[in-house]
Amino acid sequence: MAEQSWIVWPFVFLLGASIGSFLNVVIYRWPRGESLVFPPSHCLSCGARLTWADLIPVFSYLLLRGRCRHCGKSFSIRYMLVEAATGLLAVASVYLFGWTAYAAGVFIAASALLVIFFVDLDHMIIPDQATVTLILVGLAFDGYRLVHLGSKEAIVFAERVGTHSYAVYLPRSLVGLAMAGGLFLLIAWVSRAIFHKPAMGMGDVKLAAAMGALLGPGYLFLSYFILSVLLGAGIAVVLIMLRLKRRGDYVPFGPMMAVAGVIMLLGGEWIAPWILGWYTP
Ligand SMILES: [Zn+2]
């Protein structure tokens, strides 16, 4: 990537954080079935409308020490954390992938995963709109690869019909979607048959299918799957040790799948070989 002045990064961060400000609205209002644009942002306690001075991401929160300037009611620090996280995702996307359409796709997908993380944590549902966004980005990545790398990036099946040989080209995103969705559907079905209670919801299955569309059916998805399970098991053990959950309690898997998804989108090229190195001499 070409050298560029450090001065761009604060702007990229602020742009990302402004989008994070909108993601906060999505995370709060979408599960409640409220409009994303109306009414405009307001204090949930006194109803005072927030002006531009309250809406500078991250900084307004720090300046007002997280309080409403009208009634003094404190806002959850989570709003600022979501803004800061989105700002950092924007910086990471541009830093790693340059000023490319690919970087934009990574940022959009990571933002959708951020929404999934919090909505699933709060309401134990994964919005279909977010999952569909991930699938659309996966399809767009296929288009991007087709333009920049040609058909050699597709999945190729050699087929022989009678005396004729054919090469069948399939888009990575759709093969990944079918494989990942099928795998998780199987896991959900088997675990329900064994434990007689649903260990995994349909939202998780759809999220896995969408990650398959993003990462393709190969090693990137396999590493993603291993990372999700390790994160999920690790977090569950920590929660049980801290006595926040008991053995047998339900710990939502979706948020861990979302974290693993962001990690793989940003660092998959380094992480997949590392994880797979555990199995190969
Ligand atoms: Zn207020």
Q: Quick check: 155 and 168 in contact, CB under 8 A?
A: no
CA of 47 to the centre of ligand 1 (A): 6
Number of structural domains found in the chain: 2
**Looking at residue 175, what is its pLDDT?**
95
Last residue of a domain, one of 67, 97, 127: 97
**Looking at residue 280, what is its pLDDT?**
65
Query: Looking at the domain assignment, is residue 163 inside a domain?
Result: no
Are residues 92 and 5 part of one domain? yes
Q: Quick check: 151 and 169 in contact, CB under 8 A?
A: yes
CA distances from 2 to 8, 69, 96, 216, 238 (A): 13, 43, 11, 29, 42
Are residues 134 and 13 part of one domain? no
Last residue of a domain, one of 97, 126, 156: 97
CA of 65 to the centre of ligand 1 (A): 13
**Looking at residue 191, what is its pLDDT?**
84
Are residues 178 and 126 part of one domain? yes
Query: Looking at the domain assignment, is residue 39 inside a domain?
Result: yes
CA of 84 to the centre of ligand 1 (A): 22
CA of 73 to the centre of ligand 1 (A): 6
CA of 53 to the centre of ligand 1 (A): 14
Q: What is the DSSP string of 44-62?
A: TTT-PBP-GGG-STTHHHH
Are residues 58 and 191 part of one domain? no
User: How far is it, in rounded angstroms, from Cα 74 to Cα 55?
Assistant: 15
CA of 251 to the centre of ligand 1 (A): 34
Q: Is the peptide bond before 217 cis (omega within 30 degrees of 0)?
A: no
CA of 42 to the centre of ligand 1 (A): 8
Are residues 91 and 24 part of one domain? yes
Are residues 128 and 87 part of one domain? no
Q: Quick check: 253 and 200 in contact, CB under 8 A?
A: yes
Are residues 106 and 88 part of one domain? no
Are residues 125 and 72 part of one domain? no
Are residues 281 and 193 part of one domain? yes
CA of 61 to the centre of ligand 1 (A): 13
Q: What is the mean pLDDT of each run of 10 residues along the chain (281 residues)?
A: 76 94 92 86 84 78 84 87 96 95 97 96 92 97 87 79 88 95 92 79 94 94 93 86 76 90 95 80 60
Are residues 118 and 34 part of one domain? no
User: How far is it, in rounded angstroms, from Cα 213 to Cα 109?
Assistant: 11
Are residues 107 and 58 part of one domain? no
User: How far is it, in rounded angstroms, from Cα 166 to Cα 144?
Assistant: 25
Are residues 274 and 141 part of one domain? yes
Phi-psi region of 68 (alpha: psi -120 to 50; beta: other; left: phi over 0): beta
pTM score over 0.75 = yes
> What residues make up the domain containing 90?
1-97
CA of 25 to the centre of ligand 1 (A): 17
CB neighbourhood size of 12 (10 A): 19
